[in-house]
Amino acid sequence: MRKGAVLAAAVLFLTVALVGRAVGQPKTIRALPPPNVSGARFSPQQVAAGRYLVILGDCMPCHTVTGGAAFAGGRPIPTPFGPLVSANITPDRETGLGGWSSDDFYRALHEGKSRKVGNLYPAFPYIHYTKVSRADVDAIYAYLQTIPAVTSDPKRDQLPFPYRIRQLMAVWNWLFFEPGAYDPDPNRSAEWNRGAYLVQGLGHCGDCHTPRNVLGGAERRKRFRGGAFPGWFAPDLTDNRSVGLGSWSDAELLEFFRTGRNVRTAATGEMGEVVAYSTSQMTDGDLRAIITYLRSLPASPEATVSLPGREAMAAGEAIYRDQCSACHRMDGSGVRRLFPPLAGNANLQQANPRTVARLVLVGAQTMPTDPRPTAFTMPAYAWKLSDRQIADVLTYARNSWGNRAAAVSAEDVAKLRRQLKPRAAIAPVPRGSMLHPAPGTLAKPGTDSRDNGTAHAGRAAAPEADRNPRNTTGPPGNMDLPKHKPHRHEAQGPG
Ligand code: HEC
Ligand code: HEC
Ligand code: HEC
């Protein structure tokens, strides 16, 4: 009996990673396909409502590959066990949802059960979509049934044995999944309830921003206090003034959701995609409701952190002056809406430094949106700074200009560096995939920041054919940059 329990726990432990995450950011932001409402099956009002709900749910990027037909599936969501590939949800009869009834569709979103394959993996965020009302799910169904049908049968089950046994998810569901529609709180305003419905349901914000236990279940008592997932840490969204949104104004939040940028930060990667495909296209009313709800999240407790070592601070300051201050300024004030300030920066001060260590290792590109169409790039430092140097510069930035956060260790950076395997070693990304930058990509040794996985990085220095800024069609992993030897920029480090 005991043995059985241990075995079950072990198997479950291994399924944790199946709570995967899409990685990367799209090269071009695509509009949702127009529906064809000529048939009498659905009213144009219902279809239009469904289209907007699909924006609220951010369904498109996970179900589309760059250059591929919208919603035809095939985007791999990497897990340590292999890619979990998204499904074709266009109305094609054979390969999509053409044969599905609205009840089948509701069961997928509400219970995580597919008419086609049985139990779905929680990389598809049904644990959140379960809160969506039947009327809203029916409207999504109406929209998805009226977009162009595409024949596409992505090979979904690429996980090795035993993870490909979908029945395992029944145990996981039993432990961690609470099906049930959103239950409005009568003591709160209609706006708050709308915000809660959106954040907990279609917005699935907690999928990234809530910590998970070792088995991949959400830690409900620590809701929205920041969550780790492969390669990233999604920051605290509670009222905490240093690591959460406590010091942000409503106007700053609104600007971030609309444009991906404000005077405090810029969205990139995962959150960049959420902004591009979802929040930047939401109505102001819905954004205000989301803000009202976020405002009510009680502040997470202040962490007690010990002072960093003086040596690390001195080394970090030297590296910062040399490598970072040109953009982020010596006083950490940055450049308004171009290079985020590091002074008072919440993302920088998270207990888990994974996102910021990632940014320094592989660089980043801000997500362009219509109101802010220019993407700014932070260079990659993996090729020129050692783990210790990256740890020190982050420790310095996390403890200067009034910032306060635990020191970053060289081991933390080394671990992340290993996870972000060199491009050649990661599962091949299909040509033209929407994944961008490629999952967990590190510049190859001997390349510079032009090869940091951001398509626009350093284009000016690229060959003629690459110089056209519109020429972003090549897959990010295959940028044929000229072989050139970088100058060795030795950081003016500790000595
Ligand atoms: C984070 C990425 C992600 C998001 C966001 C997402 N999906 Fe999916 N979806 C997936 C993956 C991956 C699968 C395949 C899961 C599996 O095979 O177990 C899937 C499967 C499905 C299925 C089951 C199809 C089948 O043939 O079994 C439906 C229906 C679906 N998604 C609809 C939606 C809708 C509607 C939305 C938006 C409200 C959405 N998805 C948002 C990743 C996502
Ligand atoms: C796919 C994972 C993911 C989802 C889903 C997601 N976020 Fe994020 N979010 C992140 C990551 C990672 C960051 C930090 C990196 C960045 O700012 O670009 C972030 C940053 C943020 C920030 C900026 C916080 C700061 O301190 O800089 C806010 C605000 C935010 N998210 C709100 C939301 C809301 C609201 C939702 C739901 C509508 C949401 N996020 C959904 C991953 C996610
Ligand atoms: C060429 C200009 C440039 C240089 C040099 C640069 N950065 Fe950045 N940095 C940026 C940009 C642009 C962003 C915004 C990227 C994004 O969307 O997250 C950024 C973001 C960041 C963030 C995340 C801030 C936030 O609001 O989420 C941190 C932390 C950071 N940089 C630290 C550093 C450190 C440490 C160095 C030196 C090792 C450095 N940067 C060098 C341009 C630069």
Task: Please report the domains of the chain, with CATH numbers, ordered by start residue.
Answer: 2-176 (no CATH), 190-295 (1.10.760), 310-478 (1.10.760.10)
**Which of the listed residues 86, 126, 271, 337 should we mutate to test ligand 2's pocket, taking the one with most ligand atoms within 8 A of CB?**
271
Ligand 2 centroid to residue 250 C-alpha, Å: 16
CB 378 less than 6 A from any atom of ligand 3: yes
**Which two tokens mark 100?**
């599905």
pTM of this prediction? 0.86
- Give the closest residue (by CA) to ligand 3 atom 42: 378
- Distance from residue 271's CA to the centre of ligand 2 (Å): 5
Q: What is the pLDDT of residues 427-450, one digit of tens each?
A: 333 333 333 333 334 444 333 343
Task: Tell me the ligand closest to 64's alpha carbon.
Answer: 1
- Residue scoring higher pLDDT (117 or 474): 117
What distance lies between CA 80 and its chain's CA centroid? 17
Q: Is 347 in the pocket of ligand 3 (CB under 6 A)?
A: yes
Q: Respond yes or no on whether the N-terminal peptide bond of residue 162 is cis (omega within 30° of 0).
A: yes
Q: Is the CB of 64 under 6 A from ligand 1?
A: no
Q: Whose CA is nearest to atom 2 of ligand 2?
A: 208
394: β partners: none
Asked if the model's pLDDT at residue 468 lies above 90, the reply is no
Supply the residue whose CA is at minimum distance from atom 27 of ligand 1: 114
Q: Which ligand is nearest to the CA of 382?
A: 3
For ligand 2, the distance from its centroid to the CA atom of residue 394, given in whole angstroms, is: 21
275 lines ligand 2 (CB under 6 A): no
pLDDT at 124: 94
What pLDDT does 28 receive? 58
Per residue in 181-233, pLDDT tens?
A: 999 999 999 999 999 999 999 999 999 999 988 878 899 999 999 999 878 99
pLDDT in tens, 285-326: 999 999 999 999 999 999 899 999 999 999 999 999 999 999
Ligand nearest to the CA of 324: 3
Query: Whose CA is closest to atom 30 on ligand 1?
Result: 89
Atom of ligand 3 nearest to the CA of 338: 12
Mean per-residue pLDDT over the chain, rounded: 82
Over residues 92-126, the pLDDT tens digits come to: 999 999 999 999 999 999 999 999 999 999 989 99
203 lines ligand 2 (CB under 6 A): yes
HEC sequence for the chain: CHHHHHHHHHHHHHHHHHCCCCCCCCCCCCCCCCCCCCCCCCCHHHHHHHHHHHHHHCHHHHCCCCCCCCCCCCCEEEECCEEEECCCCCCCCCCCCCCCCHHHHHHHHHHCEECCCEECCCCCCHHHHCCCCHHHHHHHHHHHHHCCCCCCCCCCECCCCCCCCCCHHHHHHHHHCCCCCCCCCCCCCHHHHHHHHHHHCCCCCHHHHCCECCCCCECHHHCCCCEEECCEEECCCCCCCCCCCCCCCHHHHHHHHHHCECCCCECEHHHHHHHHHCHHHCCHHHHHHHHHHHHCCCCCCCCCCCCCCHHHHHHHHHHHHHHHHHHHCCCCCCECCCECCCCCCCHHHCCCCHHHHHHHHHCEEECCCCCCCCCCEECCCCCCCCHHHHHHHHHHHHCCCCCCCCCCCHHHHHHHHHHCCEHHHCCCCCCCCCCCCCCCCECCCCCCHHHCCCCCCCHHHCCHHHHCCCCCCCCHHHCCCCCCCCCCCCCCCCC
Q: What is the pLDDT of residue 80?
A: 60
Evaluate: CB of 205 within 6 angstroms of ligand 2.
yes
